[in-house]
Amino acid sequence: MKIDLLITNCAILPVPGSEPLIDPGFVAVDAARILRTGPMAECPAFDAGTVLDGQGQLAMPGLVNGHCHAPMTLFRGLADDLDLFTWLHGHIFPAEARQVTAEMVYWCAKLAAAEMLLSGTTTVADGYFLEDEVALACAETGLRCVAAQAVLDFPAPGAEDPEKNIEVAARFLERWQGRDPLVIPAVFAHSAYTCANATLRRAKELTRTFQAPFFIHAAETREEAGQIAEPRAATPIGHLQALGLLDRDTVCVHCVWADDRDLDCLAAHGAAVVTCPQSNAKLASGRAPLAAMLSRGLRLALGTDSAASNNSLDLFREMDFAAKLHKVNPCDPTAVPARSLLETATWRGAEALGLETGHGTLTPGAPADLILIDLRQPQLQPFHSPQLLVYGGAGGCVRTVIVNGKLVVRNRKLSTIDLGETCAQVRRLAGR
């Protein structure tokens, strides 16, 4: 039987959070889909276009980054150790007003895409201005992207007239629906304190018309409720619910200050949540109630946020931090198990973003988005359990990355773009 790709002699984690491993095993890929996995002893005599020997490596689904602002790699390290309000209004917003152009968004998103692929992320949900350039950069680099055009009620790059922000978002959705298999277009309403109630309703109605995801920052800081111009409830989540914005296509990012009633509301409406623990910690915004979210069965993803507030886009690093942070208070080592983080960074994250069934697994028919991790690295020996990927893994352990059945990283080398050129372009832009 002819197939596109065959990986042999590897350990396999088909569904993170489920054990045992298949070791040694094979992964067969054809037509951008997982065709079959199983023990090497049961591997058919495939006629494969490409054969990879996975000896000493672990095949697992690629990671899903639930929230990022990819072009903000330009601002990495620019304004560290500040609270969110000072960071945004004193540094980031002014820098964006001066620096955000189509050229900047394209090259800096390309750098972010490269960083994510090289650290094992195969899907990202991004939200920014001039999102056409992000979608293009990710598609060229080989990263699957839920690309969300930003909507705000003040002049922004690509939408200088705030009265036309929904029109700009509508044109973006029209351009990208069905255009590229790696790009899913969406809308990102920045927040309830930067968008008026009418804007939020119009943005949500637009996504319902296009059956597209709707992203929004929500309950990120303690002060946020007081910053909403015309609040309809006591909390930001209650405000969104009162406006009729919560449903299964709504993704609320952060939810640091969501209380029990907010969480119950999110669960009742089927809305998803993305937690970004390192960004929240660095900006001292707080710590999301992750254990309570998991106990309610909320649709949950893990995100890095931007390289300006993290400062890394490595989801292995994010998993490790999240698992440990949520044990500290209430001093419970079982509060958020490593197994839960593996699920959240793969198939649960894919579910939260509304991706197709099977995404984030290596099950037959699932999209062929997978990574090979070098288990011979010192920090991964001995490999008693996949939980070690959370506490000992790192993006640097990823050797091979396959997205949509295409080999985009091999032996830690990107095959899709000239990384040196991308880095040089970003340095040039930073020099301005």
> Residue written as tokens 């804007």?
199
How do residues 345-360 score in pLDDT, each as one tens digit? 999 999 999 999 999 9
Structure tokens at 316: 């292995």
CA atoms within 13 A on the CB side of 42: 9
Residues facing 146 on adjacent strands = 125, 184
How do residues 80-119 score in pLDDT, each as one tens digit? 998 888 988 898 888 888 889 999 999 999 999 999 999 9
| Closest CA relative to residue 19, chosen from 345, 357, 384 | 384
CB 29 within 8 A of CB 6: yes
- What pLDDT, on a 0 to 100 scale, did the predictor assign at position 91? 87
How do residues 262-306 score in pLDDT, each as one tens digit? 999 999 999 999 999 999 999 999 999 999 999 999 999 999 999
Contacts of 285 (CB under 8 A, 6+ apart): 84, 220, 221, 254, 256, 279
- pTM for this one? 0.97
> Residue written as tokens 């509304």?
354
User: Which band of pLDDT confidence, cut at 50, 70 and 90, is reported for residue 78?
Assistant: confident
How do residues 140-188 score in pLDDT, each as one tens digit? 999 999 999 999 999 999 999 999 999 999 999 999 999 999 999 999 9
CB 386 within 8 A of CB 21: yes
> Residue written as tokens 């800096």?
108
Instruction: Reduce the DSSP state of residue 15 to 3 states and report it.
Output: coil
- What pLDDT, on a 0 to 100 scale, did the predictor assign at position 136? 98
CB 65 within 8 A of CB 303: yes
Contacts of 332 (CB under 8 A, 6+ apart): none
Amino acid at 31: A
pLDDT at 19 over 80: no
- Residue 388: Cβ within 10 Å count: 16
User: Which band of pLDDT confidence, cut at 50, 70 and 90, is reported for residue 377?
Assistant: very high
pLDDT at 196 over 80: yes
Residues facing 33 on adjacent strands = 30, 367
Per DSSP, 88 falls in state I
CATH class of the 63-352 domain in this structure = alpha beta
Q: Please state, rounded to an integer, the average pLDDT across all residues of the chain.
A: 96
- Output the DSSP codes for 194-247: TS-HHHHHHHHHHHHHHT--EEEEES-STTHHHH-SS-SSSSHHHHHHHTT--S
Q: For the domain bounded by 2-61+361-413, which CATH number is listed?
A: 2.30.40.10
Amino acid at 263: L
Contacts of 98 (CB under 8 A, 6+ apart): none
Domain map (residue ranges) of the chain: 2-61+361-413, 63-352
- Output the DSSP codes for 242-271: HTT--STTEEEEE-TT--HHHHHHHHHHT-
